[in-house]
């Protein structure tokens, strides 16, 4: 699968499946995306590579968290990130994918801190915080 940012400068490719796809409602995802929640999943780090625009990437580490947030320094697209607790995986923000990854969201996390103006209307399992710890 491939993905890209809004301006098209940054492009990436990932082999294999997008696993553990889910919606995250934590305040960090909301702030970084500007949206009600972020839908993301994991791909194997071994099969992930930047196709272009690696020099445009910016990395932000939320203080006190183990994860980094990667975004395009030109257009600001939030692409995903990396968590040092899971070195073998890359977090991919599904909204930046160019095609249908084939998998579907499995659950909601950090529902306890979701935006008060957003109502979840699907029947997926809701977790108050994380399934596993997520940054």
Name the residues that contact Zn ion, by CB under 5 A. Answer: 5, 7, 9, 24, 26, 29, 72, 74-75
Task: State in angstroms the smallest separation of the CB of 120 from Zn ion.
Answer: 15
Pairing between β-strand 78-83 and β-strand 67-72 as defined by DSSP bridges:
antiparallel
Shortest distance, position 2 Cβ to Zn ion, whole Å: 14
Which has the closest alpha carbon to 33: 85, 91, 120, 83?
91
Strand stretches in 2-134, DSSP E: 2-4, 11-14, 19-24, 38-44, 48-52, 57-61, 67-72, 78-83, 89-93, 107-109, 125-126
* Nearer CB in complex with Zn ion: 46/77: 77
Question: Whose Cβ is closer to Zn ion: residue 27's or residue 46's?
Answer: 27
Identify which of residues 16 and 112 has a Cβ nearer to Zn ion in the complex: 112
User: Measured from the CB of residue 119, what is the shortest distance to Zn ion in angstroms?
Assistant: 18
């Amino acid at each position: 699968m491939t993905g890209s940012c809004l301006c098209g400068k940054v492009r990436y490719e990932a082999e294999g499946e997008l696993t553990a796809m889910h919606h995250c409602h934590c305040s960090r995802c909301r702030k970084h995306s500007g949206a009600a929640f972020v839908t993301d999943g994991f791909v194997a780090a071994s099969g992930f590579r930047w196709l272009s625009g690696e020099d445009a990437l910016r990395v932000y580490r939320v203080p006190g968290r183990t994860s980094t947030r990667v975004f395009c320094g030109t257009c600001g697209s939030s692409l995903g990130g990396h968590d040092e607790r899971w070195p073998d995986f890359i977090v991919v923000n599904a909204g930046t994918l160019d095609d249908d990854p084939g998998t579907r969201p499995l659950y909601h996390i950090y529902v306890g801190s979701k935006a008060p103006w957003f109502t979840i209307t699907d029947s997926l399992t809701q977790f108050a915080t994380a399934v596993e710890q997520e940054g």
